[in-house]
Structure 1
């Protein structure tokens, strides 16, 4: 299994979170998977893509910032030294401030786990990653749209290298990713690079404590063990799909997934789940396979 870093050089993008006037700065693996599946359908390679991604050896992470170096999601398990223990008021304030922190540069990884960083420092290290602005879409019924602007920041994923994945990502850079693509958002330039040395031997499935890099869901038989001695957060994944036979939008099955940044003592594989509405004509796949970074 050979992993590569795929960098997405956006100028602007809209990654919806259920509110049109706001936008998530990064995208999850399941969002990317859906877009890649559409590209595969255009090339009549959707069956090949599904078979590839269902293989145990194929893995793909969520996207994270890259500015001079890779960033990782801030672990939900916070070392004791980060939060002031002797002053309860300061500890509460720091806990609230930590909600603003989502990412950690890899160069600070060891310093973070030794507890030698303050919350203010963590906020400072991600303050210039990207800007989210809201603007008014004019017309008969004007509305607000949230858009991310990236400047010197790119987004990256880690994924198993394959010819088909490369082909689909090259195609996707022209179609764009996310919402409001007709307004010029979501196009990107793709760049592929080798994993930095510090990633090697870290992307493993083992009994060691590990950071989740993919918003994902364990299989039923994995769930109980995965949650033992873990620190995790759940995210709700839902949406709609158009039915040709019913001529309307139907709600997909709702999944609750474990968020990237969760920390586990026992890793799991996850899967690709069919979330089609009842009586829908064909499967609707949700990518939920896990990738971990050993702590």
Structure 2
């Protein structure tokens, strides 16, 4: 398998509203789940290249010839991974401030991942390396205007990434055709934007350079990432928020430490006038730690539609030391 890393540099603020959020449009997350990314890629493929390109994406994903991770942050030359959901057994005593700082920690640089996991058993992770500042969340006031009525203000939650920061997606590809298609689709998707409120100009990005092939990378942290992706011994760090197939569920959850994330949303289609609600599912969140990997599947989550509506749920794992 060939592994690639695509760096997304955002030109505008973003609105990434998690479907597990109770405050809707009034907040924005930093990152995107893989199912949202895959849906946007499928929509772009269909709009630009037609049904053959969409079919190529779906067939590649279903056959495990293509897998993607959630979007994760990068800063400069550092690529961050989700903090593993694992309890600390370290005898080191932490102050209240230190405990709160560690609890808030969401991302670990790949170059320091082994150092962090070692601190779970002995010592502490240095507080001066807990900086999680990739951008700034803020609210913007908008006005809803209808004929014959006063304007009604409402708030939109946005996130603007700092200069030198962005998001990246890991891709596992069986051949070179898939990464070429992904590069083209991400390039086109960046022009229209990803996430919410794209019609207002949010979520636009460009690729920061060509996809980085981890199989030939020389930088130490990317070599470490390749070794972890190719490792076939437990425990495994989940990089793609996803759900095992029904027949995989018991084995996947045995000995696992995980959190659940709600996935829902709406599907717009030419077959109906208004967007249709997708089936709600609860996925294992990226950062979950499992003893047994699973294959996942493409779930058909359409309700009362004459065609399938797929939700991506094909995971990427890293073999890590915990």
Name the TM-score, length of structure 2 as normaliser. 0.83
| Correspondent of 2:63 among 55, 62, 66 | 55
Contact map agreement 1:206 1:267 (CA 8 A) in 2: no
- Per-residue deviation, residues 257-285 of structure 1 (Å, max 9, x unmatched): 000000011111111110001x2121111
C-alpha contact (below 8 Å) 1:94/1:119 kept by paired residues:
no
Cα distance change of structure 1 residues 249 and 200 upon mapping to structure 2, 3 Å threshold: closer
Gaps in structure 1 of 5+ consecutive residues: none
The aligned counterpart of 2:8 is: 8
Say if 2:188 is the partner of 1:171.
yes
Q: How does 1:184-263 map to 2 (within 5 A)?
A: 184-190=201-207, 191=209, 192-195=211-214, 196-204=222-230, 206-242=232-268, 244-263=270-289
Residue 165 of structure 1: CA displacement? Answer: 1.6
Moved over 6 A (4+): none
Closer, same or farther: CA 143–82 of 1 in aligned 2, 3 Å: farther
Question: For residues 66-96 of structure 1, what are the alpha-carbon distances to aligned partners after superposition, in whole Å with 9 as ceiling and x for unaligned?
Answer: 1131000011114322873xx8xx57x7665
Counterpart in the other structure of 2:148: none
Judging changes above 3 Å, is the alpha-carbon distance between structure 1 residues 134 and 99 closer, same or farther for their aligned structure 2 residues? Answer: farther
- Partners of 2:200 and 2:117 lie apart in 1 by 42
Q: Deviations over 1:110-167 (max 9, x none)?
A: 2211114348446x321x2111111111352221111111112110010034222222
**For residue 148 of structure 1, what is the aligned residue in structure 2?**
159
Alignment: residue pair count? 287
What is the RMSD of the two structures over their aligned residues, measured on CA atoms?
Answer: 2.1
Alpha-carbon separation, structure 2, partners of 1:83 and 1:293 = 27
* Correspondence 1:181 to 2:192: no
Any residues of structure 2 matched to 1:108-119 within 5 Å, and which? 108-115=112-119, 116-118=123-125
Do the aligned partners of 1:6 and 1:193 also contact (CA within 8 Å) in 2?
yes
Taking the TM superposition and a 5 Å limit, the aligned residue runs for 1:112-127 are: 112-115=116-119, 116-118=123-125, 120-121=127-128, 124-126=130-132
Structure 2: any 5+ residue segments left out of the alignment?
145-150, 215-221
Residue 241 of structure 1 deviates from its aligned partner by 2.1
SS in structure 2 opposite 1:79? coil
**Which residue of 32, 36, 40 maps to 2:41?**
36
SS in 2 for 1:8: strand
Query: How far apart, CA to CA, are the structure 2 residues paired with 1:50 and 1:4?
Result: 19
Q: 1:83 to 1:174 in 2, by over 3 A?
A: farther
Instruction: State the secondary structure of the residue aligned to 1:155.
Output: strand
Could you tell me which residue of structure 2 aligns to residue 293 of structure 1? 318
